[in-house]
Amino acid sequence: MDTETKNIGDIATEAAEAAVLETPLTPEERAEIQSLIDAGVFYGQSHARTNPKMSPYILTSKGGVEIIDLAETLRALKNATEVIRTKLASGGEVIIVDTTPAGKSIVRALGEKLGVSYVAERWLGGTITNFKTISERVRYFKKLKADAESGALDKYTKKERVDFNREIGKLTKFFSGIESMDKLPAVVVIFGLGGNMTPALEARKSGVTSIAFVNTASDPDEVDCPIPANDRNPRSLELLATYVEKAILEGKAEKAKLAAVVAEKSEKNNG
């Protein structure tokens, strides 16, 4: 770690210690903050681009670059992860989103690993606000893909099969991450608000809870749970993704546990 980063890190740690806890940080808590520092989560954008609404989340400026207050980041992370866990535990679904170069591969990998809906390419307008139409297109895509795999398309001419395969490739790009989304999501997690405003706007219009990593040039009021953080660096997003992953896993585990309890009670009553 270079000297400048270490100095900024010390400031961030002291601020977190003063703002988050009344008692000194535990070794585990200090290690957590250090991980955020090492990943560069505290780096905002240039002071000239700062959205005034982000002022409460900014610790200081260094060399014309805003330094995000990690105390606020930690507080927002705890709140957001609790929202995710609660939504999933109660039967809701989550969709994670980032179509920017910084986070698209992270979102795709996380979505595939956890089996949750994701958008890592282009967000199709209406994915939330016109869910019925999007669902119909997804069903068509799934049927077309199944027909290709089963050989049901073999009866068509070579040109027609080429056209079908081209269409499958196009639809795969748009729909592969939301094939399992059979109902409106309860929460949308956006890995970088600046480059993904449409899902945030659709979530608000549809009454879907929105969570986003928000850099200093963005408007935090566009989402329900803004998390001040560096959303332009893959290393930062990779670390932040671990918080989202943990919350999703915990929510799914609680849902499964509740379902098992309900099933057990039902079995006893029927017995």
* pTM, full prediction: 0.86
**Mean pLDDT to the nearest integer, 5-15:** 59
Q: Answer whether 203's CB lies under 8 Å from 209's CB.
A: yes
pLDDT digits (tens, 9 = 90+) for 221-249: 999 999 999 999 999 999 999 999 999 99
pLDDT digits (tens, 9 = 90+) for 110-137: 999 999 999 999 999 999 999 999 999 9
Percentage of the chain beyond pLDDT 90 is 66
Tell me, what's the pLDDT at 183?
Answer: 92
Q: What confidence category does residue 170 fall into, taking pLDDT thresholds of 50, 70 and 90?
A: confident
- CATH, domain range 73-135+178-270: 3.40.50.10490
Domains of the chain: which residue ranges?
3-69, 73-135+178-270, 136-177
**Mean pLDDT to the nearest integer, 8-26:** 57
Tell me, what's the pLDDT at 20?
Answer: 43
**What are the φ/ψ torsions at residue 93 (nearest 5 degrees)?**
-115, 155
Strands (E), the chain: 43-46, 58-62, 65-68, 94-97, 117-119, 187-190, 209-214, 225-228
- The domain 136-177 is placed in CATH, from the list 1.10.150, 1.10.287, 1.10.10, 2.60.120, at 1.10.287
